Chain A
Amino acid sequence: MTLEPGRARPEPTPETKHFWDGTRDGKLLLQRCGDTGKAYFPPRPFSPYTGTRNVEVFEASGRGTLHSYVIHHRPVPGFKPPYAIAVVELEEGPRMMTNIVDCPQTPEALVLDMPLEVAFTKMDEDITLALFRPAKGA
């Protein structure tokens, strides 16, 4: 899976660098609150649940389910319409925006709560996006 040129390119900051280093190395890294043990996203060096700076980075399973989406029918640089803009709910709890690959971009194929798995997709030398595909064997 390669990406068409033209997508908005994320620029990591010191607070998010570990996440983008992770996707480049084929790992989906989340963070966990030291007080509650709950995972959170997007990245920040403290817990949104309690404010503690006692947090840790851990590797997520890369499994999740399709929480919601739209199928956009108008042209956008880097995308061939119609394409789905989706939100995956990860097994660990947090949700993230993504695209669904290896799947027709139709309401019939994109069924809410269907199992998904991460599909790391390289944008350039530094940036790899965590896209998702229907889980194998599902």
Chain B
Amino acid sequence: MIKPGEIAIVGAAETTKLGAIPDMAQIMLHADAALNAMADAGLKPSDIDGVACVGPMMPQQIAHYLGITPKWVDGTGVGGCSFMLHVRHAAAAIHAGYAKTILITHGESGKSRVNATPRPPEPQSLNGQFEAPFGPMGPPTLFPIPVLRYMKKYGVTHEQMAMVAVVQREWAAKNPRAAFKDPITVADVLNSKMIAYPFRLLQCCLVTDGGGALILTSSDRAKDFPTKPCYILGSGESVETTMVSQMEDFTSSRAFRVAGPEAFRMAGIKHSDVDHLMIYDAFAHLPMYGLEDLGFVGRGEAKDFIWEGNTRPGAKLPLNTNGGGLSYTHTGMYGMFALQESVRQVRGTAPAQVPDVKISVAHGVGGMFSASGTVVLSNQRP
């Protein structure tokens, strides 16, 4: 069995620019982030022997573009949390001896669409037959489908749902690279343009260009690197369905309920051990589902927990401290950016640094509640 802290992240970086990058094709966004992560770790492409990335980009494209000859690759593609799964799979591969130094990359030209691949559902797929005919147009129309059921079950008000975006903007204000930094109020959120009721523009994530990369190796080698090692204590993964209409419970994600507790179990930690938390927020309801499904609060308690300010700067559970997908950046697959912020927080280098972070949890979602991955990181090896 892999032990908590046996594998570490020794290189981490985002693309040089973030937001609108019309002068870079998608593959170059991967490469820009990868080169930055290698510089962070003091490595060259010839030092890397494993590569992971998510479709439509294939590991062979990235390996060849960067001049890497891998002996291990992973192209797991389950949506925006794929990077959490890559971290988990890479840790297992290093433990097994399949590779020594693994590079995980993300790059997406989500806004400028340079070298981007459209992904309409195949008309013969189950999504193509049983969802597409009813008029969905991408995540803003599909991801919020369960929200009214959740709001009814737990008596969540529109104001409470809006508060998620307000609090994340408070964090974004502290991040120079965040796309949106100006403070907003609940009224601002509820007066923003209606996109897909019950969600308005400020409750939907950004669409940006950018990328990020991570480099993993065994913790025994980690002391040879220039940065403070970021130890992987535990991880979890699961999938449910690509069809949001078929998720078994509209008020909770089964994939969250598998991935989250497995990561905690592996890491041997309790909720009170967590100093910093990232929950992938493609839309405003996700932090609520995440807080409840990971067990940080009881069922139906997330609305009050956030409303009362418990996830704000200075409060007891700092959540989405880069500003999240709602205010920082969202290329289309935000999980990489949640991981980057967790790494910065445990290294102590985040712009909105939380004091004395020892343990950070990065929890991701893929597709529309289709998949999930959770990673527990620490600056201390158990």
Contacts and interface: CB of A to CB of B under 8 A. Distances in A.
Interface of A: 7-13, 16, 20, 41-42, 67-74, 76, 78-79, 82-83, 85-87, 95-99, 107, 112, 123, 129
A82 to B, nearest CB: 7
B128 A8 contact: yes
B141 A85 contact: yes
Interface residues of B, number: 34
B272 interface: no
Contacts of A16: 126, 129
A72 B135 contact: yes
B152 interface: yes
B198 A95 contact: no
Contacts of A73: 193-197
Contacts of B126: 16, 42
Given A68-B250, A72-B196, 8 more contacts: A9-B133, A11-B124, A13-B129, A67-B149, A69-B145, A70-B198, A72-B136, A97-B245
Contacts, number: 108
A136 B144 CA distance: 29
B149 A112 contact: yes
Contact of A70 (B129, B132, B197): B197
B149 A79 contact: no
A78 B136 CA distance: 11
Contacts of B243: 42, 97
B199 interface: yes
Nearest to B141: A72
Contacts of B197: 70-71, 73, 82, 107
B contact patch SS: mixed
A122 to B, nearest CB: 12
Contacts of B132: 8, 10
Interface string B120-158: 010110101111111111000110111111001000000
B367 to A, nearest CB: 15
Contacts of B46: none
Contact of A96 (B121, B146, B245): B245
A11 B141 contact: no
B137 A87 contact: no
